[in-house]
Amino acid sequence: MMQWPPMPDGLSFSKSFTSDHIQLLVDETWTDVEGNRQTRQEIFDSVFQIIDEAEQFILLDFFLVNDFLYKPGRNMGELSRELTGKLVEKRTRQPNVQIVFITDPLNTVYDSIPSPFFQTLENAGVRVVWTELNRLRDSNPVISKPWRLFVKPWGTGPGDTIANPIGDGRVSLRSGLKLINFKANHRKLIVTEKSLLVTSANPHNASSAHWNMALRIDGAGQAAACESESAILKMSGAKEFKAGWKPAIQNTPPRRPACHSRTAHGA
Of 94-98, 128-132, 154-158, 239-243, where does mean pLDDT reach its minimum? 239-243
* 80: in domain: yes
Q: List the single range of 18-27, 141-150, 210-219, 220-229 with lowest mean pLDDT.
A: 141-150
E-state strands within 111-183 = 127-130, 162-163, 170-171
The arithmetic mean of pLDDT across residues 187-205, rounded, is 97
For β-strands 188-192 and 195-199, DSSP reports them as antiparallel
The pLDDT score that the predictor gives to residue 258 is 52
Looking at residue 86, its amino acid is: K
Q: What is the DSSP letter of 200?
A: S
Confidence check: pLDDT of 250 > 80: no
SS3 content of the chain, % helix, strand, coil (to 5): 30, 20, 50
Q: Domain for residue 153, yes or no?
A: no
pLDDT at 16 over 90: no
Q: List, edge to edge, every strand of the sheet that includes 260-264.
A: 127-130, 98-103, 57-62, 188-192, 195-199, 212-218, 22-31, 37-41, 260-264
* pLDDT range class, residue 39, cuts 50, 70, 90: confident
The DSSP secondary-structure symbol of 253 reads P
- Domain-embedded: residue 27: yes
Averaging pLDDT over each range in 71-75, 198-202, 225-229, 246-250, which range is the top one? 198-202
Q: Tell me what the mean pLDDT of segment 202-220 comes to.
A: 94
Residue 176 domain flag: no
Whole-model pTM? 0.89
Q: Is the pLDDT of residue 264 over 50?
A: no
Q: What percent of the chain has pLDDT over 70?
A: 90
**Summary mean pLDDT of the chain:** 88
Residue with the bigger pLDDT between 107 and 207: it is: 107
Instruction: Assess if residue 148 is contained within a domain.
Output: no
Residue 72's domain comprises: 22-137+186-244
Give yes or no for a contact between 22 and 197, defined as CB atoms under 8 angstroms apart.
Answer: no
Q: What is the per-residue pLDDT across 70-95, written as a single tens digit (0 to 9) for each?
A: 888 777 889 999 999 999 999 999 99
Residue 5 included in any domain: no
Most confident region among 24-33, 90-99, 177-186, 253-262 by mean pLDDT: 90-99
Number of domains in the chain: 1
Model pLDDT, residue 248: 54
Q: Does residue 127 or residue 36 have the better pLDDT?
A: 127
The model's confidence at residue 222, banded by pLDDT at 50, 70 and 90, is very high
CATH number, domain of 70, equals 3.30.870.10
* Residue 145, φ and ψ in degrees, nearest 5: -65, -55
Q: Is residue 174 part of a domain?
A: no
Higher pLDDT, 227 or 247: 227
Residues 235 and 11: beta-carbon distance below 8 Å: yes
1 falls within a domain? no
Residue type, 134: N
